Amino acid sequence: MRKKTTIHDIAKELNTTAATVSRALHDHPSISVATKELVRQTAVRLNYRQNKLASSLRSGRTHTLGVIIPSAEISFFGSVVHGIERIARRHGYSVLLFQSNEDPACEAEGIEALLQAHVDGIIASVTKETTRYHHYLEVKQRRIPLVLFDRVNDSLEVPSVVIDDYKGAYLATMHLIEQGYKRIAHISGQQHIKIFNDRLRGYADALRHAGFPVEDDLIAYGKVSVESGRHCADRLLSITPPPDAIVAVEDFTALGAMQSIKSKGLAIPREIGLIGFANEAFSSYITPSLSTVDQQTIKMGEEAAQLFMELGKGKEGNPPPLRKIVLEPVLMIRESSKKTGS
């Protein structure tokens, strides 16, 4: 078992040629069932395994899907990747994962690396700090299928999967209103990220529809992190009169806000209501457990991968229609927002 067996070895063994062996192994229609069977047996016997490098070099396809996520430490992304992997595997693709660490430079490097690895397509969620999209444009120009999810950018005009962030924030805010909270603040994120802006609009519209004023003072703009959540909440709680509930742009921000609220000795949900966004793993662990908005992560990943598979089918010539999938957000009501105890 010292030297690796190749299709030539199999061919020699059977007094045939490499071409036949290759075709047999690929279940090519113009090969007799008999030889197919023979080839397969010999392949097993000689412990043959395909050299994907050679195959890819020749065919130009690697059956590999590149995925770029900001961080694997955010369980949301880990979960989406699961969904992607499931569909990918089902179609014979493997997944090459790259973390951008929320750094646009690193993100560009990642794309470069994936292109060099000759991935057949890229599925990505952009960095919070990304403002220029030249690296993504290059992917498009090279005609490599590109799909975005969650943190998307419409100007790129690529297929994408998101949840209805506007609606999610709307539902979250409405829920707090129904619970009897009267002065609801919002901690938002960078406005150039579409989903954060959508959530802000959802929050504002819910207030308006319920006949509440939308006060600029009650909206804090942060950087979407535990730290930033804490600072923003500190600021919000210091205004007079203070808010009696907070809609956070996502769960880590909500966690920071929770720390701030606790440190001031205020009771959640009795004195202050709190709701997050993302349904991060920790949100159900903490005390009080955090109400939040679930984003259907697995499904999001599956849809994104599915979108890629469809792109591949759009054979040269007829460009496939630009599909944007919008999933429904699901309100997860836990302790942090249950003022009425219902």
* Binding-site ranges for DNA (CB under 7 A): 4, 6-8, 15-20, 22-23, 25-26, 28-35, 48, 50-51, 54-55, 57-59
**Beta strand pairing status for 330-332 and 292-294?**
antiparallel
Shortest approach of DNA to residue 168 CB, angstroms? 44
Tell me how far apart the alpha carbons of residues 92 and 318 are, in angstroms, rounded to a whole number: 24
Q: How far is the CB of 248 from a second copy (least distance, A)?
A: 14
* CA pair distance 280, 295, nearest whole angstrom: 10
Residue closer to a second copy, measured from CB, 36 or 262: 262
Outline where 91-185 has alpha helix (H): 104-116, 134-141, 165-178
How far is the C-alpha of 59 from the C-alpha of 252, rounded, in Å?
A: 45
Q: Compare residues 22 and 297 and give the one whose CB is closer to DNA.
A: 22
Residues 6+ apart with CB under 8 A from 10: 21, 39, 42, 43, 46, 48
Binding at 94: pick from DNA, a second copy, none (beta carbon under 5-8 Å per type): a second copy
Q: Which is nearer to DNA, 11 or 68 (CB)?
A: 11
CA–CA gap between residue 274 and residue 261 (Å, rounded): 10
Closest to DNA by CB, 33 vs 322, is: 33
Query: 3: which 2 tokens?
Result: 């030297």
Contacts with a second copy by CB under 8 A lie at 1, 49-54, 56-57, 62, 72-73, 75, 78-79, 81, 85, 94, 96-97, 99, 113, 115-118, 141, 255, 262, 281-282, 285-287
CB of 53 to DNA, least distance (A): 7
Residue closer to DNA (CB basis): 31 or 298: 31
Nearer to a second copy, 170 or 277 (CB): 277
Residue pair 108/115 in contact (Cβ under 8 Å)? The answer is no
The minimum distance between CB 60 and a second copy, in angstroms, equals: 9
Backbone torsions φ then ψ of 275, nearest 5 degrees: -140, 140
The least CB distance from residue 119 to DNA, in Å, is: 16
**281 binds, options DNA, a second copy, none, Cβ within 5 to 8 A by partner type:** a second copy
Q: What count of other Cβ atoms lies within 10 Å of the Cβ of residue 19? A: 11
Half-sphere exposure of 105 (CA within 13 A, CB side): 0
Residue 210 binding result from a second copy, DNA, none, given CB thresholds of 5 to 8 Å by partner type: none
CB of 297 to a second copy, least distance (A): 11
